[in-house]
Amino acid sequence: MNERNIFIVRCGEVALKGLNKPYFERMLVERIKRVLKKYDGIEVKRHEGLIYVRAEKNLDPDEITGVISKVFGVASISPALEAESNLDAIGETAVSMMLDLIEKKGIKTFKVEAKRADKNFPVKSPEIGRIIGAKILIGCKVLKVDVHNPDCLLHVDLRHDVSYVYEQKISGFGGLPLGTNGRGMVLLSGGIDSPVAAWMMAKRGMMIEAVHFHSYPYTSERAQEKVEELAGIVSSYCGRFKMHVINLLPVQEKIVENCPEEETTILVRRFMMRIAEKIAEKRDCMMLITGENLGQVASQTAEALVVTDACVKMPVMRPLIAMDKVDIMEKAKEIGTFETSILPYEDCCTVFLPKHPATKPKLERILESESRLDVEALVAAAVESAEVINISPEL
């Protein structure tokens, strides 16, 4: 029975979805199938509220677990062994798992916790636990039972057709399966915040696409490679996506030539939003996503955010708005973007940075400054010049 590795996948919030639950579960199964497509002989099935992944023995279970754990909607995963639903078969499987754990982790004590989903099974859960425990003691002479603080808590899940034995429960990120919540266009910089913002929206089921602005030759090619690398990490969670890369320098030069210096930052930000919105419309995205965070810098004061928002019709999602920077940094470390984000390359926002940026911009003043520019033509030219890069986790 143990010729394949089994992974029991528990759904998080998906399980709470009421009448829509079958749809969310189906989407989750689809996502899991998709990320495991690169491996041969994988089987993914839904059964009694859980998802079971079966993989060939030659595949590394840790690698498979790692891949599944990045799928949004997964609450936890347990690599398991399968046994026929009788106590002798379960006992044998439990002993083989324990022998493995003795060798790999040097465990000395254990406890068995049994659960009987099949209520017609003639033996009750605590008794199943005791019987399997006794079989383990006979099969693994070095082990002792410790009900309070065991090195290994072995779970036996006795079900009608087939039973499962497992030890670990590895956490996923929860959230909702990708593709269940529309599409958003993230403004992706090379910083710490925007990759986290993209990840957070994708975690709620939103497919993402990205726009990145540079100011070449003021910003280097290496700075752009850094952003591509970051996008690649984000795509290991949210699948392949397109990144629209735009040189913002022509817009910045016009602003610097024609508008007051202290307004440069906010004006540049409004152009970024407008350009991103145009591309989002073309690409069927319904929202913009930024890594903005209240009060973090001059362009993110409440007043500046209001003035930024006023130039677009599309809703702007700012999932980090009320987070503290330390918490954003923690999240970036957890999802694996932090080390790349802190590489010291210049960003287009730091080019032409005013000495004293306006922290409380007034919309009327900003509109007046913009009246000196051909906003529509500048936006259209920028959109026209976009270079599209296909981002995938392998980058």
Helix (H, G, I), strand (E, B) or coil at 133: helix
Q: How far is the CB of 350 from Mg ion (least distance, A)?
A: 8
> Quick one: 94 or 379, whose CB is closer to ligand ATP?
379
Per-residue x/- marks for ligand ATP, 273-292, CB under 6 A? -----------------xxx
Establish if 189 lies at the interface with ligand ATP (CB under 6 A).
yes
Instruction: List binders of ligand ATP among 206-225 (CB under 6 A).
Output: 211-213
348's contact among Mg ion, ligand ATP, none, with CB below 5 to 8 A by partner kind, is: ligand ATP
> Quick one: 163 or 290, whose CB is closer to ligand ATP?
290
Establish if 337 lies at the interface with Mg ion (CB under 5 A).
no
CB 211 within 8 A of CB 291: no
Question: Measured in whole angstroms, how far is the alpha carbon of residue 7 from the centre of its chain?
Answer: 20
Instruction: Calculate ∠ Cα 253-256-260, nearest 5°.
Output: 160
Pairing of strands 241-247, 387-391: antiparallel
Q: How far is the CB of 300 from Mg ion (least distance, A)?
A: 10
E strand map for the chain: 4-11, 43-47, 50-56, 74-84, 109-116, 144-145, 152-158, 162-166, 170-171, 183-187, 207-214, 241-247, 287-289, 316-317, 387-391
Whole-number Å distance between alpha carbons of 305 and 318: 10
Closest CA to 155 of 234, 50, 270: 50
Whole-number Å distance between alpha carbons of 259 and 264: 7
Whole-number Å distance between alpha carbons of 141 and 253: 77
Give the one residue of 69, 76, 125, 296 binding ligand ATP; rule: CB under 6 A. 296
Q: How far is the CB of 243 from ligand ATP (least distance, A)?
A: 10
Give the one residue of 175, 191, 205, 361 binding ligand ATP; rule: CB under 6 A. 191
Task: Give the total residue count for the chain.
Answer: 395
Number of residues in contact with ligand ATP, rule: CB under 6 A? Answer: 20
Q: How far is the CB of 389 from ligand ATP (least distance, A)?
A: 13
Q: How far is the CB of 341 from ligand ATP (least distance, A)?
A: 7
Sign of the dihedral defined by the CA atoms of residues 323, 329, 334, 340, in that order: positive
Give the CB-nearest residue to Mg ion: 191
Answer whether the bond into residue 344 is a cis peptide, omega within 30°.
no
133's contact among ligand ATP, Mg ion, none, with CB below 5 to 8 A by partner kind, is: none
> Quick one: 16 or 294, whose CB is closer to ligand ATP?
294
Establish if 385 lies at the interface with ligand ATP (CB under 6 A).
no
Establish if 370 lies at the interface with ligand ATP (CB under 6 A).
no
129's contact among Mg ion, ligand ATP, none, with CB below 5 to 8 A by partner kind, is: none
Establish if 379 lies at the interface with ligand ATP (CB under 6 A).
no
User: What residue type is 91 in one-letter code?
Assistant: G
Give the one residue of 128, 192, 251, 305 binding ligand ATP; rule: CB under 6 A. 192
> Quick one: 154 or 314, whose CB is closer to ligand ATP?
314
CB 56 within 8 A of CB 4: yes
Establish if 340 lies at the interface with ligand ATP (CB under 6 A).
no
Q: How far is the CB of 272 from Mg ion (least distance, A)?
A: 11
Establish if 83 lies at the interface with ligand ATP (CB under 6 A).
no
**Please, which residues have CB within 8 angstroms of residue 170's CB and are 6 or more apart in sequence?**
65, 69, 76, 77, 78, 79
**Please, which residues have CB within 8 angstroms of residue 83's CB and are 6 or more apart in sequence?**
1, 2, 89, 90, 92, 93, 162, 163, 164, 165
Instruction: List binders of Mg ion among 178-237 (CB under 5 A).
Output: 189, 191
Q: Write out the residues near ligand ATP by the rule CB under 6 A.
A: 187-189, 191-194, 211-213, 272, 290-292, 296-297, 299, 347-349
Chain positions contacting Mg ion, by CB under 5 A: 189, 191, 347
